[in-house]
Structure 1
Amino acid sequence: MQSPSKTQSQPTPLQPNTSMFNQPIAVWAIAFASIIAFMGLGLVDPILPSIAKKLHASSSDVTLLFTSYNAVMAVAMLITGVISSRLGAKWTLVLGVVIIAVFAALGGNSNSITALVLLRGGWGLGNALFVATALAAIVSLSRTGVAKSIILFETAVGLGISVGPLLGGELGSISWRGPFFGVAILMLLAFILLIVLMPSPKANKSARKTSLADPFRALKHRALRTFGIAAFLYNFGFFTLLVYAALVLGHLGLDEHGLGFVFLGWGLLLAITSVFMAPKLQKRFGTLTSMCLMLFLFALTLFVMAQWTTDKTVVICMVILAGAFLGNNNTLITTAVMNAAPVERSTASAAYSFLRFIGGAIAPYLAGKLAEWFNPHVPFTVGGVCVMLSVIYLWANRKHLKHVDEAEGH
């Protein structure tokens, strides 16, 4: 396999045209299942204040629901390749949705914050199997190449994240347990889609069995390692926004319905920009410059929230606006990772996601603790600083990342 850094073809922009929709039925099955899977993430967000109240937990206790979820996801990413190369993409995806459904249903039946935190960890295992395999499967089965396949995947992610909070707010207004049971039911639907529409497992089995060491070997490639470390840093900002901002708005009087609509707006902007704006930015400014610009603007929204933490209107506006910057960045960095190193894309995804979700595991709990140790403004400030550090780190390593804009032929 030729190294991407030596590819001589011309840069290929991310072109969002109708050809993106020219996909086999298997790709659509995975995309619809991805929407449902990512609805599960957003479903829980509006009920965080309610869980804290009903289970007599502190804000930092509730953030552990995301910490355990992301920590297990980070570690599980290292074994997704081992499992998928032996089971095949179809059965790995099916196994992932079954695990999510089981642990979500058990979470809905739990009566303590400790049990709920542990069960969210099991949910994270299922999500790791699904997410890492879904992205690689869509790319490998697609007719339209890496760039447009990733746009399709990010569209599914954005739709799931945007609709999830709205549904979670509606179900959460009935009971905090509702969204957990809602996830279990949605995963059953995903299970049916994958069983019926995915091709036979034999068609998806990898010719080479992946080993546990492969993701670590992949991180020896500087470009992939650089994107992973940058994602580790900006996920401090991402999950501060997703988790801590929801708790802040809950304390400012926003109920489950209100939180659902706020994060609906956030998710819609994330979905729209990932499809329509990211390609234009990449074409005009290049991947790295566009990423740095989006992350810089995202950091500014966190700093604004740090300054006006007690102003509900400002926090709501900044949360929604941040969706635009994150949507652009998600598509840009995911595409860059797929072309960052001369390794299998599933291995690259696993190695990158391992570093990314470590940041996602630390950030929510740290944000809750910083608010307890200091004041409610500090978590947003720390999140903004970490995002700015990711910008500086990417720019400092820009000479090692020039090849990510090159064509995806290899």
Structure 2
Amino acid sequence: MNTSSSPEGAGEQERPPELPKLARDTTPENPWPLSTLSHALHGWVQKAPDAWVEGQVIEVNQRARVSYVTLRDLQEEVSVNVTLFQREMARLERPLERGSRVVVNLKADFYVKTGRLSMLGRDIRPVGLGDLLERLERLRRALAEEGLFDPAHKKRLPVLPHRVGLVTGRNSDAEKDVVRNATNRWPGVEFEIREVPVQGTGSAKAVIQALQELDGMDAVDVIVIARGGGAFEDLLSFSDESLLRVVFAARTPVVSAIGHENDQPLLDYVADVRASTPTDAGKRIVPDVQDERLRLLQARAALDRAVSTLIDREQQGLATMRSRPSLSQPDGMILIREEDLDRWRSRAWSAANAQTLRARDAVGQMRARVRALSPQQTLDRGYAVVQTADGSVLTDAADAAPGQSLSVRLARGELGVDVTSSSTRQPGEH
């Protein structure tokens, strides 16, 4: 059965498909109408909040009731067209000019009929000198609190740099002043020059790139950032926070030579050395060859004087040493030692002789005492020693038996006797 011929089938084919609610649900078979997308984009853009932005005016096109202004970012190559109505322009005290800095409250708007995205300026305010000074002062205090201006972080310049990195404007007087003065002072100095924009949009970024490139070169010993004088607004690039932090992080010493003596961008506080002018920078980075030659001559003269003084002093010392008795009469020391040796020998002989005599006397006395206590001495005085047959000394008469043979030892010779009687009478008894 063919359903396409039935009324119900015809009604189902004629019903249009339901449109997707979300953009991601659209397909080639079921797309959105263009108006749906435009209205959706308009709704999304309307939900975006307004924002205050800062930029530089590069083009102004004023008409009867509407003014079209082109703003450019202060650092990046980004620009946007802004539509300002007469009531916003009427609030300005002075007409907008190219190059002026402004702060604008922008609200994005999407025009459904043409699909054009535009920026509506609801309020615009010029950035005056007072506002810029106040911003710089706040930034200066913040960086000072972080320690970016601390002298302890300053790097010393090399005594004699072989190659100097120079970041400056293209074919500028600042470049000529630095190169000419440095070359006049030290003809052998070499330069690695990077010519970049030094004012306006993107100048800070260009200086940063050149600085990082030179800082990465081992042959570069010092980097000079130089620019001639100008208006306060022209030097604002050298107070950019990103540039200041790159200078602080550089491993190569950086010299700031911006403007004149009275110009003091924040780069002067962060740089390792601040030169009042580019000419002053050329004099600071290298020594004066004439002064160095003079110092060499002075050092050589001082060295000659020191050597001559040393030689004279040593000669006087040698003469003094030669005049000493130890060198003028070297045998005098030997004679003194010989006398000392004789004296010590005599003392030793006397001491040994006296000791020997004392010892001999002691031996004689001891010999006399021994002789006095000797049994022979006792025998010589008329005493005798009575011994039994076994050699024992008989000391008690009771120990001798009658008829016992005894031996009597006299001072000279012995007697053999027989005991006939014994008595216990003591000497002196009757």
State if a TM-score over 0.5 links the two structures.
no
Higher RCO, 1 or 2 (CA under 8 Å, sep at least 6)?
Answer: 1
The structure in which a higher percent of residues are helix is: 1
Q: Compute the TM-score of the two structures, normalised by the length of structure 2.
A: 0.21
Structure exhibiting the larger radius of gyration computed from Cα positions: 2
